[in-house]
């Protein structure tokens, strides 16, 4: 296989295919109003006027998966920095260790900051604010322009789930040196992001489409920095492959 073919296959499997899958999923969710249907079927009790993840009985959504999950991601980033920059030794291995730590920190940080910025720009309401769920805001689809006379809102994409999905950077970190570990890291990151998304959707903070876009943004950010900074291989291994 030539280098050009390998590169083309990489972008097809890691770039084009995931983006096309996301676009199809969003069109399906919006076209069939599945966001609303799933929220009603799984998370909202119209009789009680309450969400599954709200109230004193739902500590798992607010305390465990929201607050605890946020602290988990911060802890992972902090531990990565400590292991990457301490002890402050010299040499090729130490330089690689610092580059890996920098990659993880930047990928997670940029993902969270980008999603936070987009939330301010997209002007999309949270489910708990919608009139169909007891709120005051009208439901407006993702592909429909929000009227200017409505108050500004900021709920798309999903912020909390983006921090969980940002852990896909570990897949790219280990992709070239430990493929099996990379695949496990990918599945773990997707599971963490999905748990965070479930908790927020159960609280009425987001729709499924919000969190799917967050997952895609996390993937694209990690992929972009991987192409800029990777591959992350030990010096001896890189020399042997080159």
What does 135-155 look like in DSSP terms, one character per residue?
SSBPP--TTSPPPTTSPP---
- Give yes or no for a contact between 165 and 121, defined as CB atoms under 8 angstroms apart: no
Instruction: Name the DSSP class of 51.
Output: E
For residue 239, what is the enclosing H or E element? helix 235-241
Q: What is the pLDDT of residue 228?
A: 95
Cα separation, 212 vs 191, whole angstroms: 13
Nearest residue to 115 (alpha-carbon basis) of 220, 217, 18: 217
Cα separation, 236 vs 242, whole angstroms: 10
Cα separation, 196 vs 66, whole angstroms: 7
* Burial (CB count <10 Å: 0-12, 13-18, 19+), residue 147: exposed
Q: What is the pLDDT of residue 237?
A: 52
Q: Which residue has the tokens 């291989």?
A: 233
Overall pTM > 0.75:
yes
Per-residue pLDDT of the chain (242 residues; tens, 9 = 90+): 444 446 778 999 999 999 999 999 999 999 999 999 999 999 999 999 999 999 888 999 999 999 999 999 999 999 999 999 988 788 888 899 999 999 999 999 999 999 999 999 999 999 999 999 999 999 999 999 999 999 999 999 999 999 999 999 999 999 999 999 999 999 999 999 999 999 999 999 999 999 999 999 999 999 999 999 989 987 655 444 43
Q: What is the pLDDT of residue 104?
A: 97
Q: What is the pLDDT of residue 215?
A: 98
Q: Phi and psi of 45, rounded to 5°?
A: -105, 105
Q: Among positive and negative, which fits the CA dihedral 51, 53, 56, 57?
A: positive
Q: List, in order, residues 6 or more apart from 237 with CB less than 8 Å away.
A: 177
Q: What is the pLDDT of residue 6?
A: 63
Largest CA distance in the chain: 66
Q: What is the pLDDT of residue 56?
A: 83
129-to-56, 82, 119, 154, 162 alpha-carbon distances in Å: 20, 41, 15, 11, 21
- Give yes or no for a contact between 148 and 225, defined as CB atoms under 8 angstroms apart: no
| 72 φ/ψ sector (left φ>0, alpha ψ -120 to 50, else beta) | alpha
Cα separation, 215 vs 164, whole angstroms: 9
Q: What is the pLDDT of residue 154?
A: 95
Q: What is the pLDDT of residue 2?
A: 43
Which of helix, strand or coil describes residue 207? coil
Q: Which residue has the tokens 């694209």?
A: 220
């Amino acid at each position: 296989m030539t280098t050009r073919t390998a590169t083309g296959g990489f972008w097809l499997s890691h770039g084009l295919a995931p983006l096309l899958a996301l676009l199809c999923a969003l069109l399906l969710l919006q076209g069939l109003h599945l966001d609303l249907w799933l929220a009603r079927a799984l998370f909202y009790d119209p009789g009680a006027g309450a969400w599954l993840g709200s109230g004193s009985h739902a500590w798992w959504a607010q305390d465990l998966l929201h607050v605890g999950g946020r602290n988990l991601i911060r802890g992972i980033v902090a531990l990565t920095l400590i292991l990457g920059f301490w002890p402050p030794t010299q040499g090729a291995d130490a330089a690689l260790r610092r580059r890996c730590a920098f990659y993880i920190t930047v990928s997670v940080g940029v993902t969270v900051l980008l999603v936070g910025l987009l939330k301010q720009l997209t002007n999309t309401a949270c489910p708990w604010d919608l009139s169909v769920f007891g709120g005051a805001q009208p439901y407006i689809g993702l592909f429909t322009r929000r009227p200017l006379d409505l108050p500004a809102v900021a709920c798309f994409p999903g912020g909390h789930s983006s921090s969980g999905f940002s852990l896909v950077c570990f897949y790219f970190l280990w992709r070239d040196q430990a493929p099996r570990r990379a695949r496990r890291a990918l599945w773990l990151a997707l599971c963490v992001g999905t748990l965070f998304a479930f908790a927020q959707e159960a609280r009425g903070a987001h729709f499924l489409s919000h969190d799917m876009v967050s997952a895609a943004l996390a993937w694209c950010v990690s992929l972009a920095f991987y192409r800029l900074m990777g591959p992350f291989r030990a010096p001896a291994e890189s020399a042997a492959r080159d």
